[in-house]
Amino acid sequence: MSRLDRSKLPVPGPAGHFVFPRIERTRLPNGLDVRVVSHRSVPVAAMVLLVPGGSSADPSGQPGLASLIADLLDEGSRGMSALEVSDRIARIGGDLDVDVNHDSTIVSLTTLDRFLETGLELVHEISTAPNLTEADFGRVRQLRLERLRQLRDHPSALADRSFAKVLYQSHPYGQPGYGTAESLGAVDVDDVRAGHARMFQPNGATLVLAGDRPADQLLAAAASVFNSWKNDPSVEAAAKDLGRQPPPGHPATRLGLVARPGSAQSELRIGHVAASRATPDYHALILLNAVLGGQFVSRLNMNLREDKGYTYGVRTGFDLRRGLGPFVLQTSVGSDVTVPALRESLMELTDIRGSRPVTADELALARSSVSLGYPRGFETVQQVARSVAQLALHELPDSYFEEFVPALEAVTLQQVTAAATQYLDPDRMTAVVVGDPAKIGEGIGALGLGSPEPVIPPI
C-alpha cells in the first residue's frame, strides 16, 4: 500500500443503495388504519398508536387535559392496578412512552420480538380501557402539579411556554400542552373520562407496527388484537384540527422579558408563526434551515459559537404542524452578551433573505448533508415506526421516504432564497429572553423590537 497522501481529503465514493421501509397496510372493520413494516435486523418490535387531536384539541379553559389523560393511561386498565400494569410492561422489557404533541397523541411501546403479542395487548388495553378512577386521577394530578412547580425553575421551559404564548396568544397552539396549575386544578375525573372517550376511537386512529417478522404476520398480529376495539357512536368526535384556525397576524409583543434574577445565562427564543407541514415549500425550508441554524456548520452556530463564543450552541427549526407552526431560534447565552447575541441572530435572520443570500456552495453542503444522511433515520424499529406514524398524521403517501431525496435534489437556489424571503419576516420577528434583567445590560431596547415587555410564563 502506498504511503498516505494527506495533501487532500479522500473523495467519498458513491453512496450505497438504500432500501427504504416498505409499508404494508390494511384498514380494520372498525376503521383503524394499520400500517406495518418488516424490519429484519434485531429481534425487536416497535408499535405506535397515533390518535389525532393532541393538546390543540384541549377544550378552551382546560389546557393540559390531553396530557393528563396520557399520564393516566398506564395507571391501571381493565380492572388491573397501575402496579400490575407496570409489572407486565417490565416483564417484557417494555419501553413505554406516551407523548402528547400539538396535533396528536402517540402511545409507543418497544419490546423484544418474542413479546410482540403481549406488547400489542398492553398498548390496546391501556389505550382503550384505562380505569380512570377518581383515586388514580387525584394521585396523578398531584404528581403533575409538582412537576409543573419544578418546571418554573427551568429556563428552557419558561422560554418555550412564554414564546408560544406571545406568538399564538389564545390560539390552540398558544395553550400550554402541559397545563397550568389553574387549569389542572379545575379539571375533574369526568372531564378526563369524557376526554378519553373523544380521543381514543379506532376510526381516525393509526396503528404502526415494525418488527422482525414478515409483513403478513405483523398485519395478522395487529388485527387480531385491535379488531375488538369498537367505536362508541354515543360520543361526539373530538373537534378536528383546531390548530388549523388562523393564528394572530401579529405577536402580543416583539420583545418579551421573563425576569429570572440571579440567572447564570440568558435563555433566548426568536421567531414567528411560519408554515404548516403541508407547505409546498417543505423541502426548500429544510435546506434553508440547514444553512441558517439546522446543523453544526450553520451560519448561526459558526457565528455565535465558533466565532464569538457567546453560547454552547444555537439551533433553528421550522416546527411544521397541521396548522401553522413557528420558526424558532433557540439558544442559551452568557448574560453579559445577551444584547449582542440577539443582534447577531437578528442580523443572520435578515441577511439570508437577500443581502447575503444562500450561496451555491452552502446549498450544496446542506443538500448533501441532509440527503446522504437520510438513511440514518431508519436504523431502529422505533425510528421506522415513528416515521410511518408521521406519514399518517400528515397524510403523506407511502412512497414519501423514497421521494424525499429526489425532491430535495430538485430545489433551486432561487427557491431557497424565495423561501427565506417568504418565511422569515423581519417585521414580525419576535424575541423572548429569560434572564436576569440587571445583567442583560444596555441596548436591549435598540434592537428594532421596541422596549422589552414583561411576560408572565403560563405555568
Partner 1 sequence: MVAVNLWYHVGSKNERPGRTGFAHLFEHLMFEGSKHHDSGYFEPLQRAGGQLNGSTNTDRTNYWEVMPTGALELALFMESDRMGYLLPALTEEKFVNQRDVVLNERRQNYENRPYGLAGVALAAALFPPDHPYHWITIGDPDDLRAATLDDVRTFFETYYHPGNASLTLAGNIETARALDLAERYFGEIPRGPVPPPVHAGIPDMVEQCLWLEDRVELPRLYLGWHSPAMFHGGDADLDLSADVLAHGKTSRLYQRLVYERRVAADVSAYQHSRELSGVYQVACTAAAGVSLPVLEEAITEALAELAATGPTIDELARAQAQTEAQFVYRLQTVGGFGGKSDQLNAYNVFNRNPGFFDGDLARYRAVTPASMAAAVGQWLVGRPRVALSLVPRGQQQLALAGATEVSVS
Which 228-257 residues touch partner 1, going by CB under 8 A? none
Question: In the complex, what is the shortest distance from the CB of residue 309 to partner 1, in angstroms, rounded to a whole number?
Answer: 3
Nine-digit cell string for 407:
425532491
Report the distance separating Cα 364 and Cα 369, nearest Å. Answer: 8
DSSP structure string for 26-80: EE-TT--EEEEEE--SSSEEEEEEEEE-GGGGSPTT-TTHHHHHHHHHTSEETTE
Question: In the complex, what is the shortest distance from the CB of residue 366 to partner 1, in angstroms, rounded to a whole number?
Answer: 9
Pick the piece of the chain touching partner 1 (CB under 8 A) from 92-100, 121-129, 272-280, 386-394: 92-100
Three-class secondary structure of residue 7 per DSSP: coil
- Which CB atom, from 76 or from 243, has the smaller least distance to partner 1? 76
Interacting residue with partner 1 among 149, 230, 240, 356 (CB under 8 A): 149
What is the DSSP pairing of strand 206-211 with strand 76-77? unpaired
Rule CB under 8 A: say whether 86 interacts with partner 1.
Answer: yes
Please report, as residue ranges, which positions from 166 to 205 form the binding site for partner 1 (by CB under 8 A).
none
Interacting residue with partner 1 among 22, 27, 91, 240 (CB under 8 A): 91
The rounded radius of gyration (Å) of the Cα atoms in the chain is: 24
Residue identified by cell 402496579 is 83
Question: In the complex, what is the shortest distance from the CB of residue 26 to partner 1, in angstroms, rounded to a whole number?
Answer: 26
Question: In the complex, what is the shortest distance from the CB of residue 330 to partner 1, in angstroms, rounded to a whole number?
Answer: 12
Binding mask 336-365 for partner 1 (x = CB under 8 A): ----------------------------xx
CB 170: neighbour CB atoms within 10 A?
A: 12
> Do the Cβ atoms of 173 and 55 come closer than 8 Å?
no
Report the distance separating Cα 389 and Cα 386, nearest Å. Answer: 5
Pick the piece of the chain touching partner 1 (CB under 8 A) from 40-48, 189-197, 396-404, 445-453: 40-48
Interacting residue with partner 1 among 31, 143, 182, 240 (CB under 8 A): 143
Interacting residue with partner 1 among 22, 42, 190, 454 (CB under 8 A): 42
Helix spans in 131-264 (H): 134-151, 155-168, 181-186, 189-199, 215-226
Please report, as residue ranges, which positions from 251 to 310 form the binding site for partner 1 (by CB under 8 A).
262-265, 267, 295-297, 305-307, 309-310
Rule CB under 8 A: say whether 12 interacts with partner 1.
Answer: yes
Question: In the complex, what is the shortest distance from the CB of residue 47 to partner 1, in angstroms, rounded to a whole number?
Answer: 14
Please report, as residue ranges, which positions from 365 to 384 form the binding site for partner 1 (by CB under 8 A).
365, 368-369, 371-376, 379-381
Q: Is the dihedral of CA 164, 166, 167, 172 positive or negative?
A: positive
